Copies of this chain bind each other. A is one copy, B any other.
Amino acid sequence: VSEQTLSRKDQIYAVAERLFSRNGYHATTMREIARELEIEGGSLYSHITGKQELLYQIVLRASHKFVRAGRAAAGSPDAPADQLRAFMRQHLAIIAASVDGAVVYFHQWRHLEPEQRATITAHRDEYESYLRRILSAGVACGQFAAGDERLLSKFIFSALNWTYQWYRPDGPLSAEQLADAYYEYVMAGLAAKPQEEADR
């Protein structure tokens, strides 16, 4: 990532995001962040208010991105199956755009202050509700088989969320290709289909 054209403050956020992601919040020191920018530890405080705020802003930003994407997907006039595909694409696009941000979002929210955590949790709940709404609509209109929507949504989120553990945007798969592949798995499963069996 080019850190050249960013303001000093944004550079700090960028470095913090990377280090929080790689080493975790508590294992990252302010001096480490400063060293990457070739300044002294104390100098950070001309630009930021503190470590805690650093974490909060990073998590909050990621959180907003997900919520915004989810609201868009669930609010579109498309059929539920297409909404689901859009939802998955968006989710993976956000992760692909900033794997480090995603890692911090998913892993480090525990280290927020209670108030901050409450805010983030609320966002997360809202986001998850969008997927459940899509699923319900799909069942209602007969596109999806009936089932436990709550459990199903967790199943889908599992697939989506876990990607930050291994996905790298510079790998062979684009985020969209990955989303489409996962969409197929989610929709059709992996069992051999009757006609395929007949083909052999």
Measured between beta carbons, the chain B residues less than 8 angstroms from A147 are: 190
A189–B187 contact, CB under 8 A?
Answer: yes
- Partner pick for A190 among B24, B158, B166, B186, CB 8 A cutoff: B186
Taking A159-B159, A190-B147 as contacts, is the C-beta distance between A142 and B200 under 8 angstroms? yes
- Partner pick for A163 among B158, B166, B186, B191, CB 8 A cutoff: B158
Q: How many residues of A contact B (CB 8 A)?
A: 45
B152–A196 contact, CB under 8 A?
Answer: no
The A interface is mostly helix, strand or loop, or mixed, namely: helix
Cα–Cα distance between A172 and B107 once the two chains are bound (Å) = 26
Closest to A26 in B: B26
Measured between beta carbons, the chain B residues less than 8 angstroms from A192 are: 142-145
Measured between beta carbons, the chain B residues less than 8 angstroms from A142 are: 192, 197, 200
Digit string of A132-159 for contact with B (CB within 8 Å is 1, else 0)? Answer: 0001000000111101100110110111
User: Which residue numbers of A lie inside 8 Å of B, CB to CB?
Assistant: 22-27, 81, 107, 110-111, 135, 142-145, 147-148, 151-152, 154-155, 157-163, 166, 173, 178, 181-182, 185-193, 196-197, 200
